[in-house]
């Protein structure tokens, strides 16, 4: 059929619909088939569909990553009116400034070393064990309510090294930070998230000041403060921005990952022992969990820095381009037997957490906390199973989740 004779793509691909939440595969494959760059009217955005193009864009960075370059973004405020949020997201943004980003990635590499990740694991494990201790040995429980919703907060506060006295105040921003640049929500909701972020930055800077007076070791913040001493051009605002980056990467995405990891493994119980054999085997298994679950809705936002020709289309300055690597997850041309769940499937290249200069700095930390939690879950409940098929929830702005995840433990009460 000629492209002009096809129905509008928004009638087939609608990530906010019940149809997508129930089965996203047809919509994703339909969008994938429409071409390399597809206009999506509901979001007033172009969608980049092909992996080769997406990887090239990640690597060459020819599109802007700066939220303020979006045609519908609020006006970039003058520097003398910057709040904490603008100081972090403009003045020291990992997104906007390519050269500064490369500097930060180079000097902070020690903060993401295997040694640091291992030490952070030792800080997270006691809290996760305590969660399961408090749960006890019920015959059944809701994994989201009892365990999953607590993990992002535990992971971020322990990894970063935020003292417990600040936990009540910091909890809110962990839930809302990613909304500060989301194009699909209302201006009011985005501004509320920015206010949360400003309050959180005040707390982070207070923690930094305390840590300078009383240095600690073996957490992310301590490592960054040591790096600051040794590197000109890396300062406190860079530390703040990196902490926010960890919050952005590890908050709602961690909650989604927790749900889908448990669900996927329980739907495929023959894969559990392979997935949890080691931290390294789980790192690969999580790629398969994410591919097979296909929970993503949006993608990675970029903005046209000028009027330009892009993949055969005329793109106007300021227009959003959404890169959607998940569209290919059930494409048989990309993956053999895509319906089959195989935690030993090879992923080359591994693009789950991005690619090139923008590869997610917290990828190893994210996979490790998932591995710790799931290992504890299946060790305590070796006969675990789904009580029922969970109802899917399409209300999240960025992913399909579950309204609840009821598990039967096999433990007699």
pLDDT per position as a tens digit, 159-193: 777 887 887 777 777 667 767 766 667 788 888 88
pLDDT, residue 358, reads 67
For residue 96, pLDDT beyond 60? no
* Residue 379's pLDDT band (cuts 50, 70, 90): very high
- Does an H or E element contain 141, and which? strand 140-142
The more confident residue out of 63 and 218 is 63
**Residue whose tokens read 């919050």:** 247
Residues 6+ apart with CB under 8 A from 226: none
pTM: 0.87
**pLDDT average, residue stretch 42-63:** 94
**pLDDT average, residue stretch 92-107:** 67
Asked if residues 45 and 322 have their Cβ atoms less than 8 Å apart, the reply is: yes
Q: How far is the C-alpha of 105 from the C-alpha of 91, rounded, in Å?
A: 17
- Give SS3 for 382: coil
The stretches of 147-186 forming alpha helices (DSSP H) are 151-160, 167-176
**pLDDT average, residue stretch 292-321:** 95
Domains annotated for the chain, with CATH where assigned, are 1-64+299-334 (3.30.43.20), 80-291+341-391+400-408 (1.10.630.10)
The lowest-confidence range among 114-123, 175-184, 342-351 is 175-184
pLDDT, residue 183, reads 63
For residue 215, pLDDT beyond 80? no
The more confident residue out of 78 and 30 is 30
**pLDDT average, residue stretch 84-89:** 79
Q: How far is the C-alpha of 352 from the C-alpha of 355, rounded, in Å?
A: 8
* Residue 4's pLDDT band (cuts 50, 70, 90): low
Residues 6+ apart with CB under 8 A from 1: none
For residue 268, pLDDT beyond 70? yes
Identify the top-confidence range among 75-79, 84-88, 89-93, 334-338: 334-338
Mean predicted lDDT score pLDDT of the chain: 87
**pLDDT average, residue stretch 97-121:** 73
Q: How far is the C-alpha of 200 from the C-alpha of 160, rounded, in Å?
A: 13
**pLDDT average, residue stretch 138-156:** 90
What's the chain's length in residues?
A: 413
């Amino acid at each position: 059929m000629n492209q002009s004779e096809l129905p509008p793509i928004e009638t087939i691909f609608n990530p906010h619909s019940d149809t997508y939440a129930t089965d996203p595969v047809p919509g994703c494959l339909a969008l994938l088939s429409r071409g390399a760059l597809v206009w999506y009217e509901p979001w007033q955005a172009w969608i980049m569909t092909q992996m080769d193009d997406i990887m090239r864009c990640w690597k060459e960075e020819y599109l802007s990553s700066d939220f303020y370059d979006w045609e519908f973004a609020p006006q970039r405020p003058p520097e003398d009116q910057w709040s904490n949020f603008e100081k972090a997201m403009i003045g020291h943004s990992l997104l906007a400034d390519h050269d500064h980003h490369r500097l930060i990635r180079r000097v902070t590499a020690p903060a993401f070393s295997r040694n640091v990740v291992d030490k952070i694991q030792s800080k997270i494990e006691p809290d996760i064990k305590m969660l399961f201790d408090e749960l006890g040995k019920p015959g059944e429980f809701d994994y989201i309510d009892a365990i999953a919703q607590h993990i992002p907060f535990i992971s971020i506060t322990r990894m970063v090294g935020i003292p417990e006295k600040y936990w009540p105040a910091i909890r809110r921003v962990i839930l809302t930070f990613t909304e500060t640049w989301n194009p699909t929500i209302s201006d009011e909701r985005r501004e509320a998230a920015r206010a949360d972020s400003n309050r959180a930055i005040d707390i982070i800077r207070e923690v930094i000041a305390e840590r300078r007076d009383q240095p600690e070791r073996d957490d992310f913040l301590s490592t960054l403060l040591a790096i600051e001493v040794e590197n000109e051009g890396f300062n406190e605002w860079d530390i703040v921005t990196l902490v926010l980056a960890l919050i952005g990467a590890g908050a709602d995405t961690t909650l989604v990952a927790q749900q889908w990891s448990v669900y996927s493994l329980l739907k495929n119980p023959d894969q559990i022992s392979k997935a949890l054999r080691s931290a390294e085997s789980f790192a690969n298994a999580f790629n398969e969990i994410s591919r097979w679950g296909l929970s993503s809705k949006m993608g990675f936002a970029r903005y046209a820095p000028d009027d330009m020709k892009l993949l055969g289309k005329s793109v106007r300055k300021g227009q959003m381009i959404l890169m959607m690597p998940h569209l290919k997850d059930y494409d048989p041309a990309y993956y053999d037997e895509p319906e089959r769940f195989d935690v030993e499937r090879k992923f080359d290249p591994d693009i789950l957490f991005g690619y090139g200069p923008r590869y997610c700095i917290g990828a190893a930390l994210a996979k490790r906390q998932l591995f710790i939690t799931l290992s504890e879950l299946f060790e305590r409940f070796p006969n675990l199973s789904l009580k029922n098929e969970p109802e899917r929830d399409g209300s999240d702005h960025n992913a399909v989740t579950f309204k609840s995840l009821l598990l039967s433990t096999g433990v007699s009460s």
